[in-house]
């Protein structure tokens, strides 16, 4: 599956979800409902968003994620300006085309 990319205006994630769903496959039913514990809403973000939360950094330290890969948990980000969002394949959205 290829990544999906969406440009999101400052209004936030509700606009993004229509263009670029945050969850893949079964994660739509199994995600943590915004608690920052499952990691299934991982996305690549370009633009103005809040700094990573402690919960987010903790979750991104556990497989299949890695803090160094630059992904963010959408449920832990606040949109502060216009952003561009990419959702990659994999249950957790962790596979980028760069890995292929």
State pLDDT tens for residues 69-95: 889 998 898 888 888 888 888 777 777
- Residue 47 falls inside a structural domain: yes
Cβ-count burial 52-70 (b if 16+ within 10 Å, e if not): bbeebeebbeeeebeeeee
- Residue 57 falls inside a structural domain: yes
- Residue 37 falls inside a structural domain: yes
Closest C-alpha among 36, 31, 42, 44 to residue 83: 44
pTM: predicted TM-score of the whole model, two decimal places: 0.74
The tens digit of pLDDT for each residue in 23-64 reads: 777 777 788 888 888 888 888 889 999 999 999 999 999 888
- Residue 42 falls inside a structural domain: yes
Print the domain residue range for 73: 4-91
pLDDT greater at residue 63 or residue 7:
63
Domain count, the chain: 1
């Amino acid at each position: 599956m290829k990544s999906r990319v969406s440009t999101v205006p400052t209004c936030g994630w509700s606009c993004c979800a229509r263009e670029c769903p945050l969850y893949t496959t079964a994660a739509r039913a199994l995600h943590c409902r915004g608690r920052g514990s499952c990691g299934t809403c991982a996305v690549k973000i370009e633009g103005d968003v809040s700094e990573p939360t402690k919960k987010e950094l903790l979750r991104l330290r556990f497989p299949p994620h890695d803090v160094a890969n630059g992904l963010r948990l959408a449920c832990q980000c606040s949109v502060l300006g216009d952003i561009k969002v990419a959702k990659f394949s994999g249950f957790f959205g962790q596979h980028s085309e760069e890995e292929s």
